[in-house]
Amino acid sequence: MKSPALFAAAWVAAPLATLCASPPALAADEAALQQLRAEVRQMRQDYETRIQALEQRLREAEPRAPTASATTAAAASPAVGDASGWNAAAAPGGSAPASTAAPSSVVAAAPATRGFNPEVSLILGGSYQRLSRNPDQYRLQGFMPGDGEVGPGSRSFNLGESELGLAASVDPYFSGRATLAFDADNHVNVEEAYARTSALPAGLTLQGGRFYSALGYLNSQHKHTWDFADAPLAYQAFLGGQFKQDGAQLRWLAPTDRYTEIALEAGRGNSFPGTGPSGNGLGAWALTAHVGDDLGDSASWRLGASYLHTRARDRAYTELDGVQNSFSGRSRLWAVDGVLKWAPGGNATRTSFKLQGEYFHRLESGELTYDSASAALPLAYRSAQSGWYVQGVYQFLPAWRVGLRYDRLNSGTPRIGSNAGVGPASFAALGRYNPSRSTVMLDYAPTEFSRLRLQVALDRSRPGGNDRQWFLQYIMSLGAHGAHSF
């Protein structure tokens, strides 16, 4: 078999030979054509001679070179570089790679043969926001404020949050990832920093450090992968935006044709609605389960159920009259989520549709302290609250999408005791109300690395009138860019 170089030489020479065999359109005589054919034959012979010489030198050098098997195996080891989250390999319609132990030769060779390490990604984001009501007075009426991201943000131009991600395979048995977030006030936060196993048997994966919890659907995804510029109201009310764990998580991917995954995690629980344990114990634990499958060649689905148990200790919030109160007790959250995706023939590059929704139900019970900085009057407290959202996103052209989302919360009526003349009337922010919001978005993504978005929302989260919100957002991805989760 001829080498690729010989084929390339023949490909170059063939048009010349064809030209020589054509009628004398350029008025060249027969002698000139014969001379040109001879030169082409000579060039071909010269190329073949030189290529044969190079191949001979390569055969002579191969016995002296170190074996490449370990290098190839190390290069093929799985990397972490997914800037948007982890679940891409285990998405419905696909199969996650089986965990197998690597040969010992790979362990020895990996440090010496690894390429650039780690992979680096940078997400740049920003927006312009026009809000009809003062965002400094924003609240979700009927819900105890948290310490996370609640509300539309500031008016006018906003830098937004930039994410710097570092990810790599440590060796055939472990990988690691860290994500740093830079906000507009020049603060740096550690969003994620964890190590994960890559060689456990029976479909098991263990990770430890700081990570986004697997509960629900959106929680484990990075914000730049969301289809809207902000989190649903249910995420803001019950999770302060997103729930992070400082702890450990064990996942099990079932060896079945239908995608089935179960995750158990336990940690410090210092992310809202928890505040962390008072001693050496656990502050939060969560259990999630997801199943999914294909519907023919053009559609796939996923359903999930989650449970989160956290504890709060002196979780502070400020009332409408400026008095600072606090809550201590336990918070239990149930969630169900569902996603349906459709694309003709499974090809989502031109046309696609995604329908998703989540429902949350939370019970909190414990002690509500009035004026914790001064009077510190304890009152019994118990609440049952719920919330949901549903959204659809339609890609009508390869780079264009339109989406519609509706949010709604139900605050219920909390049971608040009384003490020294202080009772339910002293907690105006917790008065019954059902916040809601309607949102429309249009975005343009010329490539998978850039996106421009226009979003308009009518927010009815607080009494006193509607908040008409306009967002112009940009998202830019630099460096490593892994596949997004299902």
70-79, 203-212, 416-425 — most confident range: 203-212
Helices and strands counted in the chain (H then E): 5, 18
**Cα(148)–Cα(297) distance, rounded to whole angstroms?**
41
pLDDT of 383 higher than 70: yes
Phi, psi dihedral angles at 390 (to 5 degrees): -140, 140
pLDDT of 18 higher than 50: no
Least confident piece of the model among 146-155, 180-189, 248-257? 146-155
pLDDT value for 71: 37
Contact between 20 and 36 (Cβ < 8 Å):
yes
* Long-range pairs, 4-10, Cβ under 8 A, ≥24: 5/47, 5/51, 6/47, 6/48, 6/51, 9/43, 9/44, 9/47, 9/48, 10/44
pLDDT interval class at 483 (50, 70, 90) = low
Q: What are the tokens at 219? A: 């929680």
Query: Which residue stretches of 174-263 are H helix?
Result: 233-239
**pLDDT tens, position by position, 301-351:** 999 999 999 999 999 998 888 899 999 999 999 999 999 999 999 888 899
Contact between 139 and 129 (Cβ < 8 Å):
no
Phi, psi dihedral angles at 135 (to 5 degrees): -70, -20
Domain parsing of the chain, residue ranges = 4-64, 77-479
pLDDT value for 247: 95
Among candidates 25, 401, 44, which has minimal Cα distance to 226?
Answer: 401
**Cα(44)–Cα(26) distance, rounded to whole angstroms?**
24
**pLDDT tens, position by position, 200-215:** 999 999 999 999 999 9
What average pLDDT score do residues 204-229 get? 95
pLDDT value for 89: 35
Owner of token pair 């009152």: 379
**pLDDT tens, position by position, 370-380:** 998 888 999 99
Q: What are the tokens at 356? A: 């998703």
Phi, psi dihedral angles at 151 (to 5 degrees): 105, 170
The region that residue 420 occupies, defined by phi over 0 for left and psi between -120 and 50 for alpha, beta otherwise, is left
HSE-up (13 A, CA, CB side) for residue 241: 16
Contact between 269 and 283 (Cβ < 8 Å):
yes
pLDDT value for 19: 41
Sign of the CA dihedral 32, 36, 41, 47? positive
Residue 381's identity, in one-letter code, is Y
Strands 377-397 and 188-197, bridge-based pairing: unpaired
pLDDT value for 161: 84
Mean pLDDT of the chain: 83
**pLDDT tens, position by position, 128-155:** 999 999 998 898 999 998 776 788 888 8
**Cα(419)–Cα(414) distance, rounded to whole angstroms?**
16
What average pLDDT score do residues 381-397 get? 97
Higher pLDDT, 160 or 31: 160
36-50, 126-140, 274-288, 387-401 — most confident range: 387-401
SS3 category, 183:
coil
pLDDT of 477 higher than 80: yes
Q: Which CATH class is domain 77-479?
A: mainly beta
pLDDT interval class at 27 (50, 70, 90) = very low
**Contacts (Cβ under 8 Å, ≥6 apart) of 400:** 442, 443, 444
pLDDT value for 285: 95
pLDDT value for 146: 77
pLDDT of 65 higher than 50: no
How far the first Cα of the chain sits from its last, in Å, is 44
What average pLDDT score do residues 410-436 get? 92
Q: Angle at Cα 160 formed by Cα 356 and Cα 125, nearest 5°?
A: 70
Among candidates 460, 458, 479, which has minimal Cα distance to 469?
Answer: 458
**Cα(456)–Cα(369) distance, rounded to whole angstroms?**
39
Residue 351's identity, in one-letter code, is T
H/E stretch holding 123 reads strand 119-131
pLDDT value for 381: 95
pLDDT of 31 higher than 60: yes
153-167, 309-323, 395-409 — most confident range: 395-409
Contact between 216 and 238 (Cβ < 8 Å):
no
pLDDT interval class at 385 (50, 70, 90) = very high
pLDDT value for 276: 85
Task: Express as a percent the part of the chain with pLDDT over 70.
Answer: 81
**Cα(308)–Cα(247) distance, rounded to whole angstroms?**
14
pLDDT of 5 higher than 80: no
Sign of the CA dihedral 273, 276, 278, 279? positive
**Cα(346)–Cα(352) distance, rounded to whole angstroms?**
9
What letter would DSSP give residue 419? B
pLDDT value for 62: 55
Higher pLDDT, 87 or 193: 193
Alpha-carbon Rg for the chain, nearest whole angstrom, is 30
Least confident piece of the model among 157-161, 211-215, 249-253? 157-161
Least confident piece of the model among 182-186, 309-313, 408-412, 440-444? 182-186
